[in-house]
Structure 1
Amino acid sequence: MMERIGGKVIKFGHYAVVGLALVVTVSARSVSAAEQPFYAGKTIRIIAGFAAGGTIDLRARLIARYLPKWIPGNPTIIVQNMTGAGGQIAANYVFSVATPDGLTMLHSPTGPVMNTFLEPDSVKYDVRRISVLWVQEDSWLTAFNAKATKIKKAEDMLRTAGKLRVGGSGASSPRSLRPKLALELFGADHTWVTGYRGSADLLVALERGEIHLFEEPMAGYKPIIQPREKDGTIVVLWQTGILTLEETFKRSEFIPHIPTLDEVLPKEKKAGPAWEAWKALVVPQAFQGMVSLPAGMLPDRIAILTHALEKMTQDPPYREEHQKVLGQPADALFGESADRVVKTAIKRLFEDYQGGVRYLRDLAKK
């Protein structure tokens, strides 16, 4: 190949031209790779520690459908149900086994935090180091089999005959401990049946008569509990409420007609270590629904996912389906605000409710 430059004919070798072409091609590919978002072509897993059909599973699947379009690169998101030990198997996997690369998230209730206090030997991570991206407060309600127990109102708990069977998941799960502790506070005779994988299993057990009561998150009220309230199968006697920093219990604004346990429990029973234990179990209701990542995540990926979750939560189609499926608005806290709520609760449990935590550890062994 020849070219006239400055009045002279210059001859270029064949290999020089080929080499130049290769440099241009490689450079173009490098620029393209640099511009490619990290999540392009990737698959994110949301690990749900409870069985399909329950509240955690339903919300995880909503997130999996609506979140991808808000993440640069539009990754695929799948839900993997990893049941067992009240969600602790899933938490141990995400926080101590999964690579902290932003491709594995945990959607859970409070168990992964509370087990640090209630069953520390089962926890394989430092809960103070996890990254919390998103939280929703959630007041849990206790559902009774109205036909089998003949219980219609909270006062009936003080004179109930026979032994009530309380259903739960893992023995140290707050979902299992709270209804059991409530019956102890009332002085009602009861036995404990644990090992159920989630809301769907507990509901079947209730309807079959295997158990008489179980606890359900507020998000499950409309799809799971309310239809059975209307046909007289289930009666709801109380909700946990949200424990404020001033140690008052507030009703959830989404189920305001249901009183808190604090309102229906006789005053003389609201004292001593059992009542302190109840407060310790209600502290984490401020972050009952939680999306979190393992420690060691790169800050830019935390920022990407936090921003995407916030945009998703503001998206009208997501909000509409969330309300339809779970019976509550999609409002949530994100990023630093969400992380602060969880870390404040952890601090309170370490410093303010040690006596209650000890009581709960003993209760889990009964």
Structure 2
Amino acid sequence: MLLNDFFNKAKLCLSCPLVSTALMTMPFMSPVYAQSVSFEGERIQVTVPYKEGGGTDTWGRFFGPYFTQALPGEPIVMIKNIPGGGSTKGANQFARQAKDDGLDVLASSASTHYTYLLHDRRVRYDYHEWSPVLASPTGGVVYVSKDVGVANAQEFVDKLDTLSFKYASQGATSIDLVPLLAFDLLGADVQAVFGMKGRGAGRLAFERGEVNLDSQTSSAYLKKVAPLVEEGKAIPLFSFGVIDDEGRIQRDPNFPDLPHFGEVYAMAKGDTTTSQGFQVWRSFFIAGFVAQKVFFLPKSTPEKIKQAWRESMSKLITQPEFQARAEDVLGNYAPLTGVKADAAVESILSLDDTSKAWVTSWLKEKYNTRL
């Protein structure tokens, strides 16, 4: 069951309050006629607050040509990378400078979400001031160097007491929160090497042999890491999984032969339901991966322009050619538009205070991170 199905079943309301609350409180949107909107002769700038080559950059550049095709007037689309500060530099700049004419778009990702949710002092942006036009669920995969000497997740768990790892990270409050917390819950001896400009930089450090453990979101894994696996240089261990319509973690259909993190945790520690740490991990996994990447317009953008974007994106994702290429490049995760995109973003903003407090304490104790 794919992440998109997370929004499709009424019984989900009983098991996933983050999303059910969002769906139940979604405001009614009256029809807005967007036919008069045209971007002919215009240039749309997509701000990607990450370095070239990472998952968000791959995602943004994949969608760029489709924006040209789908939006009225077929505008030129330019990608502008502004890395730094765990994505806060680019997001802050967008918050300060973006115009509300439909020509400025932010490509946000989990790192941008987490720094906001955890009240990182570098954050000068507010998600309540932005309106989503398309969100992409995703998954992720953890893999190790062949030199580690393990062939699968079970061997990884069995040898944890004798192994040590280095992991190139962009920061403990970035998207790396999910893998770093996973490693700690398993009891793995992992030295985080901070300062990476994005997950793409982490992957390059892995390829250079500077670290021996890495994780990538599905799009970057499929495009950049799968060839390393085929060459025998990287060994996939587990995926983060997907959420089914019951709110349970299941195997990612893009990687059906890999156990999800819940299975690996059970191998190492036993029942996941009794572990507060695992439940907190699950909360941040949902917040960071159910709507892992989101295209935003400033909320002050005129409604007819926002609606033109939303209608264009809703039509785009139904096109067979787009669907075929998206599955090949980004994985089998259906993009979310309209009220589903709104609900996904609302689920991020509704992350429970207990999980935030638990992670804040963990970050301070584990990495001396003071938010």
SS at match of 2:214: strand
* 1:318, distance to aligned residue in structure 2 (A): 3.0
Tell me whether 123-132 or 338-347 shows the greater mean CA deviation: 123-132
Given that 1:274 and 1:359 are in contact with CA atoms closer than 8 Å, whether structure 2 keeps it comes out as no
Counterpart amino acid of 2:280? A
- Alpha-carbon distance in structure 2 between the residues aligned to 1:299 and 1:314: 23
* Residue in 2 that maps onto 1:139: 139
Q: What is the CA–CA distance in structure 2 between the aligned matches of 1:253 and 1:93, rounded to whole Å?
A: 37
What does the per-residue CA deviation read over 1:243-300, in whole Å, with 9 as the maximum and x for residues that have no partner?
4685521222222222111101134474554323312321121111211122322111
Partner of 2:327: 323
1:300 to 304, 319, 326: 304
Cα displacement (A) at 1:206: 0.7
CA RMSD, Structure 1 to Structure 2 (Å): 2.5
How far did 1:158 drift? Answer: 4.7
Structure 1 distance, partners of 2:307, 2:187, is: 49
Alignment-derived partner of residue 252 in structure 1: 252
> Percent of pairs identical after alignment?
23
Offset from partner CA, 1:207-232 (integer Å, 9 cap, x none): 22211112101122322222222222
Q: Distance in 1 between matches of 2:97 and 2:90?
A: 10
CA contact (8 A) 1:273 1:355 kept: no
Please tell me the residue identity of whatever aligns with 2:200: A
* Secondary structure of the corresponding residue to residue 99 of structure 2: coil
Kindly tell me: are residues 87 and 165 of structure 1, through their superposed partners in 2, closer, same or farther at Cα, counting changes over 3 Å? Answer: same
Seen in structure 2, the aligned counterparts of structure 1 residues 209 and 119 have a Cα distance that, compared at 3 Å, is farther
**Residue 69 (str. 1) matches residue 69 (str. 2):** yes
Secondary structure of 2:132's aligned partner: strand
Q: Where does the alignment leave 5 or more consecutive residues of structure 1 unmatched?
A: 1-34
Per-residue CA deviations over 1:303-352 (Å, capped at 9, x if unaligned) read 111112222223333333333433x24621102220112202321x1345
Residue type at the aligned position of 2:135: V
Distance 1:245 1:84 in 2: 36
What is the CA–CA distance in structure 2 between the aligned matches of 1:268 and 1:307, rounded to whole Å?
46
By relative contact order (CA 8 Å, sep 6+), the higher-ranking structure is 2
Q: With structure 2 as the length reference, what TM-score do the two structures score? A: 0.80
Q: Once the 2 structures are TM-superposed, how far is the Cα of residue 364 of structure 1 from its aligned partner?
A: 4.9
5 Å-filtered alignment, 1:42-191, equals 42-147=42-147, 149-155=148-154, 156-160=156-160, 161-174=162-175, 176-191=176-191
Q: 1:167 to 1:255 in 2, by over 3 A?
A: same
Q: Which amino acid in structure 1 is aligned with residue 190 of structure 2?
A: H
How many residues were matched structurally? 328
CA contact (8 A) 1:47 1:104 kept: yes
Q: CA deviation at 1:202?
A: 2.0
Q: CA separation in 2, counterparts of 1:197 and 1:350?
A: 28
* Alpha-carbon distance between aligned partners in 2 of 1:220 and 1:46, rounded to the nearest angstrom: 19
**CA displacement, residues 98-135 of structure 1 (integer Å, 9 cap, x when unaligned):** 22221111123222222122343222122234211111
Alignment of 1:219-230 (within 5 A): 219-230=219-230
Give the partner amino acid of 1:152.
A
Gaps of 5+ in 2: 1-34
CA, structure 1 residues 312+40, in 2 after alignment: closer, same or farther (shift >3 Å)? same
- Is the Cα–Cα contact under 8 Å of residues 40 and 72 in structure 2 kept in the other structure? yes
Deviations along 1:29-82, whole A, 9 cap, x unmatched? xxxxxx984522221111112222223222212221122232222221111111
Structure of higher CA gyration radius: 1
**Corresponding position of 1:357:** 359
Q: In structure 2, what is the Cα distance between the partners aligned to 1:134 and 1:66?
A: 13
